[in-house]
Amino acid sequence: MLAVACGGNDEPPASQLVDYRRDILPIFSEHCFACHGPDEGRRLAGLRLDTRDDAIAERPDGRRAIAPGEPAASLVIERVRETDPARRMPPGGALSEAQIALLERWIAEGAQYERHWSFAPPSRPEVPGGAVDDAFDAFVLDRLAREGIEPSPAADPATLIRRVTLDLTGLPPTPAEVDAFVADPSDDAYAALVDRLLASPRHAEHLARDWLDFAGYGDTNGIYFDEERTMWPWRDWVIDAFARNEPFDDFLVAQIAGDLLPGASDDDVLATAFLRHAPTTEEGGIDEEEWRIQYAMDRASLVGGQLLGITVRCARCHDHKYDPIPARDFYRLTACFDRVRDRGRTAYQDDGVPLLAAQSPLQRAALDEVRAEMTRLRGELDAEGALARWESTVDRTAPSWIAPTYAALRTERGTILTEDAARSIVASGPVPNVETWWLDITAPAEIRAIRMELGGRRASDAPSISDVSARIERADRRTRVTFESASRLDGTAIPEIVDGRTTTKIYVESPTTIVLVPAETITLGEGETLSLRIDQRQGWSGVFRDIRVLVASEPRATLTDELDAILATPRASRTAAQQSLLRDHVARVHAEPATRAIAQRLSALEARERELAATPSTRVMRDDDPERVTHVRLRGQFDALGDRVTCGLPEVLTIDDPDARVRDRLELARWIVGPTSPTTARVIASHYVQLFFGRGLVGTPDDFGTRGEPPSHPELLDWLAIELRDGGWDMRALVRAIVTSDTYRQSSRIRADLLARDPQNRLFWRGPRGRLDAEVIRDQALFASGLLVESIGGPSVRPYHPDGLYEERQDSFGELVTYRPDRRPEQNHRRSLYTFWRRGSLLPSMAIVDAPSRVTPVARRDVTSTPTQALALMNEPVMVEAARHLAERMRREAGDDPDAQIRLAFRLLTARTPRDEEVAVLRAAYDAELDAALSDPSILGVLAIGESGRDSAGDPAAHAARTLVARTILNLSETLSRE
C-alpha cells in the first residue's frame, strides 16, 4: 500500500517544526507517489498521499492514512512499522528508525502540507544585512555562517583572470592580459576586465555554444541514415542575439513564436528553428502521423523541461507519478505546437517543411563587409597594367605537357592503381562506393599547371570529383599547395573541387579534362614529393576507371583553351569580356607579387561573396494547419485517440493565476516570460549559475518538480529570478552579478574538512573548479598555438575525423556515407562551435571528453574522467598539430633557450609562471626527446601531422622535441581544467 524511502535530510532540532517540503516530501516523492500519487491510473488501494485532503480523508474502514496530531492512529505509521515483511511498507525494504520518527513528529505537529516550492511564483526575499548591491554574496555568506563555515580566500590574480576569461569567452587570456591584471588586480580593474570580456564577440559565441546544448542543436536528422539538415542559420541568429544582449524574454518569445509576432521579420521566423532541432526519421514505410505527432511532443517536452523546468514528458503515457501533471496537460501543451504542417518522414532537406529561405543576420553582415573590402581592393588593383607588362615579356612557347614521374600510387579503400603504356593511371581490383587516390610525384622539379584527363566510369553511376588537393611533402614537413583556379578546357570554372570542402562535387558524364593552376609555381627540392590527392566521394559506386595526369612549367600552361585563344588575338581585336578574362587571370597568376597578392585576395573574396550570397533554407515553425485537432494519446500510442484538447498550460503552474489562458504559441511564450510564470526565471537563473560554478542553485536543471533537488539557496534563487525578470531580462547584468561576486572569485583549493561534508560545493565555500568542456579544450589548444581562425558564423565545418568511422555506423547510401575533413585552415581551425554535429557519429575527439550527441536537449553535461581521454588528447591530430605550431611559437617568441621556451608555453596555457622544479622536469623531457629525434629520424614525422604547413626555420629535431614537450603541457590537468 505504501512505499517510503529516505529523504536524505537530518532530523530537525526538537525546537524546530518538521518542514514538509524539506523533510517529508523527499520521503514521499522517492517511492510513495509512484503508487499513491497523482497518477490515477496507477494508484493503488484508492490512496493518494500527494494532497492533504486525500491523505487525511476517512477511508471505508473508518481509518485515516494520516490522522493529524495522532501518529499512533495513522495507517501510514502502522504500515511502516509492520514487522511482517509481506505487509510492511515500502515493499522490499524498511525505513530507518530516524525516518519513521520524522514522519511521526510531522503527523504529531498536525501534518501540514505545503505547495511544492517551484509551483508558487517567486517573491523578493530580504537580503541579509540589507546588502542589496552584493546580494549574491550576502545570501551565500548567510548560509555559510549558519553552517559554521568560513568562505575561502580570494583566488590569486593569475588564476582569476584565466578562470573568468575561459568562463566568459571559452578562450584563455594572453600573457600580456595576465601581466596587466596581476599588476592591478583591484576591484575596478576586475570590473573593467569583465565588461571587456562581456562585450567581446567571443562571449556571444561561448554563450551560443551552451544554448546549442540547451536546444539540442544538430546538423543531421539523427535517425536512420542520419542525413544532413541545414540549421546553422539559427546558430548565427543565436550568436547575433547574444552579441546584441537581446533581452532574454524577447529571445525566448522569438524562438517559441517569432513567426506569430505582428509584422514578423525573417529573423523572427528564423528564431523558431529552436523548435525544429528534434531528431526526425528518413525511413520509408513509416506511419507519417506517428512521427508527426512525435515531433509535436518533442517540442512540448523541450519547452516543458528546459524552460518550465518540469518533466512534462513523464505524463505522455499516463498521469505524472510524482508531480500533479495529468496526461491531459501534457497534450494541451503539445497542442500549442501541433498546428505545423510538417512531415513524418524527412529524407531530404526539402522534406523538412515548413522552411524559411532567408539569410542569417551574421550572413548579411559578413556579405556587406566582403563587398566593402572588394570595392576597396578593386580601387588598388592595376590589373590592366599588369596584363600589358606580362604580354610584353611572356614566353609564348607552347607548353610541353608531360606525364610526371611517380614515387607511389596509393588509394584509401583498396583500389589497385597502375600506370599503363599511355602513362594513364588505371584502376583495378575492388570497386568501392567512394575512393581517394594519392599520386606521389617526384618529377619534374618545377610545375606551373596540372591537367587531369578524367576517364570513364568503373560502375553504373557517373563518377565524381569532390575535392582535389596537393601538398609538398618530406619527412619533417608538409606544405599545402593552394590552387588559384580549376576549370575545364573550355574555360568553365569549377572552383568547388579545390575549395577544401569535400561535400561539394562535380559529376563526369563523359571524358573531361580539368586544368589546375597553383597560386605559385610548385618547386620540388631534393627528397620532396608532390602528393596529389583526388577525392571521389559521390557515394553511389561512382568511381573512375582511369585518370591521366600531365604537368607543364611554361607560363602558357596556365591558360585554358579559351584564354590561349584570347592571348593569340591582338589586343585591339579582343572584346571587353575577353580582355577582362585574360586580365583577371594574369593578375592572379602572373603579375608582380604585390599585384598578385591583391588579385588573389580579391578572387578569394569573390568566392566568399558567392558563398554568402546563397540563400539557405532552414526548418522553422509556421501554424499552417490551424484547423488541426489534437487529442490525448492513450498510453502514449499515436493511434489511440482520447479526448480532444486545445492549447493550454499545465494547471499546476497557474494556481496563482487561475485566469491564465493561452490559445497559441505566442500567448504561451508571453506567459512563460510573464510575471505569473513560477518557474522560467528561476530555471534560467539557476542555469547561468551552473554555467559558471558547474552546478546550479538547483542540482536537477530540467526537473524543478518534487523529484528534483530542492534549491541550495532558495532565497538567492528567487532574488536572481526577480532581478532578472524585473530588470528587463538583461543577461549580461545577470552574468556580471555572478562573476563579479566574491563567491565566484574565491580560491578553488579543496579543504579537507569540507570535502566530505559538501563534496559538490553546493554551499559555495570555494570557487569553481572543473574540467573544461570538449570544445574549450580544442579551442584553447588552437588559440595558444596561433592556429585558431576566429571568423564568425556560417555553415558548419568538418575538422579531422578518423577514416572509416561513418561507414561503420550506417549503410552505404546518402550524402554522409563517408567523412572527408575540410582542408583549408579557415575551415579546419575554426572554433569548435562551428563543428559539423552529426548526432549518430559525433567527432570522437569531442565525444570522448563528454560532448553530447544532442539527440535530446542537454540541460547539463556529464563529466567523466577516463584513461582513454588522456590517450586521445595526446594523439588527436589537431592536438598534435597545435603542439607543433605552439613549438614554433615557443622558438619565435622565446628565442633558442629551451627553459625560456617552456616557461612561455606554460604561461600561455595556465596563465602562471612555472616553478623551477616544473621547468626542470619538462627540460629533462625535452633533452630526452631531442636525443631520440637526433638518433631516430622517424620521430620527425610528428612535424608532418595536420594539413597546415611548417615554418622551415630552425632545426627539425629540436622542433620535434619542442612539439612533444608542448603536447605534454597541452595535456596537463591544470591546462585542461579551470582552477
What's the maximum distance between 2 C-alpha atoms anywhere in the chain? 114
- b vs e for 842-873, b when ≥16 Cβ sit within 10 Å of the residue's Cβ? bbebbebbbbbbbebbbbbeeeeeeeebeebb
Give the domain CATH number at 547: 2.60.120
The C-alpha atoms of residue 85 and residue 139 are separated, in whole angstroms, by: 46
Classify residue 870: in a domain, yes or no: no
Residue 408 cell numbers, joined: 607511389
Residue 544, beta-bridge partner list: 457
pLDDT for position 281: 92
Residue 645: inside a domain: yes
Helix/strand number for the chain, H first, E second: 34, 21
Measured CA to CA, the distance from residue 190 to residue 745 in angstroms comes to 10
User: Do 294 and 436 sit in the same domain of this protein?
Assistant: no
Angle at 655 between CA 699 and CA 49, to 5 degrees: 70
Same domain, 458 and 497: yes
Provide the residue type at 771 as one letter. R
Flag whether 202 is in a domain. no
**Same-domain pairing of 469 and 372:** no
Q: Which residues contact 80 (CB under 8 A, 6 or more apart)?
A: 2, 4, 88, 89, 90, 94, 95, 100, 103
Task: Please state, in angstroms and rounded to a whole number, the distance separating the CA atoms of residues 639 and 294.
Answer: 12
Q: Are 622 and 633 in contact (CB under 8 A)?
A: no
Provide the 8-state DSSP code for 835: B
Please answer whether residues 807 and 932 qualify as being in contact, where contact means their C-beta atoms are separated by less than 8 angstroms. no
Using alpha carbons, list the distances in angstroms from residue 355 to 231, 415, 566, 623. Answer: 10, 42, 46, 12
CA 793 distance to own-chain centroid: 13
Distance CA 139, CA 151 (A): 12
Point out the domain boundary residue: 734, 749, 769.
Answer: 769
User: 3-state secondary structure string, 749-817?
Assistant: CCCHHHHCCCCCCCCCCCCCCEECCHHHHHHHHHHHHCCCECCCCCCCECCCCCCCHHHHHCCCCCCCC
Residues of the chain short of pLDDT 50, as ranges, are: 1-9, 812
Residues 922 and 971 in one domain: yes
Q: Which of the listed residues 81, 99, 114 is the one where a domain comes to its end?
A: 114
CA dihedral 641, 646, 648, 650 (to 10 degrees): -20
- Per DSSP, what are the bridge partners of residue 978? 770
Closest CA to 49 of 12, 22, 75, 19: 75
Out of 717, 739, 769, pick the residue that ends a domain.
Answer: 769
Backbone region of residue 73 per phi and psi (left: phi > 0; alpha: psi in -120 to 50; beta: other values): alpha
DSSP 3-state of 37: coil
Torsion of CA 427, 430, 433, 436, to 10 degrees: -50
Question: H/E element holding 961?
Answer: helix 956-970
Strand partners, 913: none
In this structure, the answer to whether residues 745 and 695 fall within a common structural domain is yes
Are 130 and 244 in the same domain?
no
Residues 6 or more apart whose Cβ sits within 8 Å of residue 27: 4, 5, 6, 7, 99, 102, 103
Q: Look up cell 606525364; give the residue.
A: 403
Contact present, 528 and 474 (Cβ < 8 Å): yes
Query: Residues 120, 108: one domain?
Result: no
Helix, strand, coil percentages for the chain (3-state, nearest 5)? 45, 10, 45
What one-letter code names the amino acid at 169? T
> What is the tally of structural domains in the chain?
6
> What's this model's pTM, rounded to 2 decimal places?
0.92
Both 380 and 435 in one domain: the answer is no
Distance of CA 429 to the CA centre of its chain: 41
Residues 458, 527, single domain; the answer is yes
Cβ-contact 463, 529 below 8 angstroms = no
Co-location of 637 and 743 in the same domain: no
Task: Please say whether the beta carbons of 876 and 801 come within 8 A.
Answer: no
Q: Answer yes or no: are the C-beta atoms of 807 and 818 closer than 8 Å.
A: yes
> CA 854, CA 275: separation in Å to the nearest integer?
14
DSSP 379-409: HH--HHHHHHHHHHH---PPP--BPPEEEEE
- The CA distance from 789 to 908, in Å, is 17
Q: 247 Cβ partners below 8 Å, 6+ apart?
A: 728, 729, 730
Distance CA 394, CA 515 (A): 20
Residue 220 carries which side chain, given as an amino acid letter?
A: T
Domain annotation covers residue 134: yes
**Alpha carbon of 253 to those of 201, 261, 635, 726, 944: distances in Å?**
23, 9, 31, 16, 50
Residues 6+ apart with CB under 8 A from 284: 345, 347
**Residue 253 and residue 680 in contact, taking contact as beta carbons nearer than 8 Å:** no
Residues 684, 640: one domain? Answer: no
Helix pair 187-198, 175-183: axis angle to 10 deg? 150
Query: Is residue 6 in some structural domain?
Result: no
Question: Looking at residue 832, what DSSP letter applies?
Answer: G
Q: How far apart are CA 681 and CA 414, in angstroms?
A: 58
- Cα torsion angle, 55, 57, 63, 67, sign: positive
894 belongs to a structural domain: yes
**Is residue 865 assigned to a domain?**
no
Separation CA 834–CA 462 (nearest Å):
32
The pair phi, psi for residue 851, each rounded to 5°, is: -65, 135
Parent domain of 896: 875-976
Dist. CA 194–CA 207, nearest whole Å = 15
Assess whether 554 and 599 both reside in one domain: no
Residue 582 and residue 426 in contact, taking contact as beta carbons nearer than 8 Å: no
The residue written with cell numbers 599520386 in the block is 439
